Structure 1
Amino acid sequence: MAKGVVVIKNKKAVGVEFYHKGTLKSVSVNKEIILSAGALSSPQILMLSGIGPKEHLKSHGIPVVVDLPVGDNLQDHICFLSYYKTKELVFNSPNKTDSLWTLAQYLTTKSGLLATPGGIESIAFISTDPKRPEYPDLEIHGEDMLFNEDAIEGELGVDPKYAKYYSGINDINGFILSFNLLRPKSHGSVRLNSTDAMQHPIIDPRYLENKEDVESLLRGVRFSQKLTETKTFKSQGTEFFHKPFSPCLEKSKFDSDEYWRCYIRYFTLVIFHSTGTCKMGRTEDPTTVVDPQLRVKGIHGLRVADASIMPSIVSGNTNAPCIMIGEKAADMILGIKPPTPLSDM
């Protein structure tokens, strides 16, 4: 029997088991249990509790309480980085930003490069899909410096053997535009690795499995190249900066669509906006896990309130929507009715 679970008796959630400082403890409840562990851990906890795909639970020896598509429909935002270098000293180089002088300047006077907001300093939404020109499919983040090998590997988690591609840019002044895919069509899954709640689940995101996602990012590449032709970019001496990647050159000509499709598959990054694994929707819909009141189907006294309930990932950051989900869940639990629409007043 799995430990660290929601305790269910006669299809009712009656308590929880959890580990505290290595000791398994349990708490009984009189009303409801609210699960808010996120799109990766909420499905893990539900499956350990016997709520999930029947055959998968049986393969781990977990008694099936309710057969639901828990862990399906995993969605996430992914991004592609475009590098630009500038002739003018408008932007900074990695060496300048990471220097001891810059650090000392900030620590002693709270001024200098480290006193600026840093990171994302501009945002834009664009539509590159000719079929839906009114509906943005990419979000652009402006970063005020280039990410070198250390940043790509340490902060963004790129495999070291590929992070080396970003070496040799420490003295280049420039900036990055990150093209983020807002509505990925590739969906993955979360499954149990074992019945041990302390082990990570198996996460299979299936990034770029749908070719349309690759095509959207490819259009982002072409858009990023065209930006250097604009008056504003030219005024700063901006150049599109790209080091040819040899594994892709073996298969295609540099700067061809095929080259970029290959490059995108090597260097697309994840933004960690996991959603969708406990999908909300109509009770009769076989693809849903929770109903519109966030109640787990077939179980009394158990709700899920986090990013996992999103049927489709939002076209932007997930932080504010998650706050809204929590606020709405609280209102529903307390029985607070929604405000009357202005059109009905």
Structure 2
Amino acid sequence: MHPRPLTKTLVGLTALTSILTGCSAIGGNSADLQIYSARHYDLEGAFGQFTEETGITVEFISGDDAELLERLKAEGDDTPADVFMTVDAGNLWNGARQGELAAIDSPALDEAVPEDLRDAEGRWYGLALRARTVTYNPDAVDPAEFDATDTYAGLADPKWKDRLCMRDATSAYTQSLVASLIDLHGRDRALEIVKGWVANDVDILSNDILLLEAIDAGTCDVGINNHYYLARTLEENPDLNVDLFWASQEGAGTHVNISGAGVVEGSDNAEDAQKLIEWLATDGQNAFVDANHEFPVNPAVEPEPVIAAFGEFTRMPLNAEAYGTLNADAVDLLAEAGYK
């Protein structure tokens, strides 16, 4: 069975949720599964392959993490959603905490997804791994300059003054990184680190692509990026003068985050919803992660060649509860430090 051509439209939601989402159908006009997805990276290919292999058709509605979670809460038992897919471990933890995700029993997922990348009660599972690490201009930086024990904290050293570019405080990437620093070091030390970045006159940019372009141009020497933005940019521009350094390899490891999914509580098709998530973590791992250059969560699945060339690294254990509960603290800390 081959999926029909994908079409996208904008549909208005109720006044209660008051958002706009893109609605896409794969495999037919009346889909077997309804996915609420805050992940916007090349879903059509993976879902289309799932439909070809299983005959289960999929429709997904895309939107912001918080908006989609509010929609689930507003719809309650009447929601048509079967799967909630989102980015950031804190969002997955929050969806489970609010009772929107059902606990499932899946030996296949328990085997495929490392313990810290899934909920202990089976309410959500990580499916794609992204690392937020240091990038640099090799003409301006000797990697021996980096603190290999605590690379993020090391960027607060005055030797990096006027050499740093980072993402803005409103970015979920920045907030989750700082939440992980609070969890790792405690609030006082995390505040000291962020104040050090600010004291080094960090140049704040609005997205990771601009950050990489600034490093390439020599506007700054060092940044912190999600690894897949570098992979994407290198595909488009192999001459990009930016290298990657795996942070804190002699210490806690490189900060990581996930996108993942769970079966919606009260789904009318929970069995197929579980089947989709299991497929995405096993046979469909490469289809789900490769196009966006993310790392598979499944250790038995090889990463695609561009990111494999970055080399192996030790990752920081992921604490989804900390990402969720400490997000507000991270926002407050960034403000207190004067980080914009």
TM range (shorter): under 0.3
Q: Report the TM-score when normalising by structure 2.
A: 0.24
Structure (1 or 2) with the larger CA radius of gyration: 1
Q: Report the TM-score when normalising by structure 1.
A: 0.24
- Compare the two structures and name the one with the higher helix fraction: 2
